[in-house]
Amino acid sequence: MTGLKLTAIFISVLLLDGLVLPAFFGFRENFLSVIALIMTTVYLGLTKNYIFFGLFFSLILESSRGLNFGVLAIPFLFTVLVIFLICRFLNIQYTYSDRFSLSKSALLVLMSVIFVYVFLFFYGRGSVNSEYFNLVIGLTMVLEATALILVFNVVFNKKSDYR
């Protein structure tokens, strides 16, 4: 059931990111899809299933944007490795009881935005475009991550959805 929920969220995000937000608001640099990939592993935990779903969704995102094979999947895997290493030292696991906790949600938003920059570092092969450190882009990522956390809180409302 969790896979079905993740698929529905990802298809909705893909439509929002590719069609709705650019058409209505003129967003050229939108990171909603990347945040959705990373949010799955940070929010639900690092399990084989969620990493597989993230890898599968990154391949779908590559094909929908017309990118070469592996352009987003390989940085995603490296970002998952960084998330795994950080989770070994810090307890950033989101639990069922933390679902609507403001402090844990704010921490998750901050971690997601940081991991998007880690993803962009691996995507840029060791460099990040300096235009991505713009205040507007940073606030857009924070708002998108906050909206996704609210969606995840509502959709994943059972204890069995969490690791």
pLDDT in tens, 14-24: 888 888 877 77
Which residues have CB under 8 Å from 101's CB, separation 6+?
none
Domain count, the chain: 1
pLDDT at residue 57, as a whole number:
92
pLDDT at residue 157, as a whole number:
75
Q: Which two tokens stand for residue 97?
A: 């009881």
pLDDT in tens, 95-130: 556 666 777 788 888 888 889 989 988 888 777 777
Rounded-to-integer distance, Cα 143 and Cα 110, Å = 11
Q: What is the pTM of this model?
A: 0.84
Short-list 52, 65, 58, CA closest to 10? 58
Domain that holds residue 153: 2-161
pLDDT at residue 2, as a whole number:
78
Short-list 17, 7, 3, CA closest to 144? 17
Q: Give the up-direction half-sphere exposure of residue 121: CA atoms within 13 A in the CB hemisphere.
A: 10
User: For residues 133-146, b (16+ Cβ closer than 10 Å) or e, as one string?
Assistant: eeeebeebbbebbb
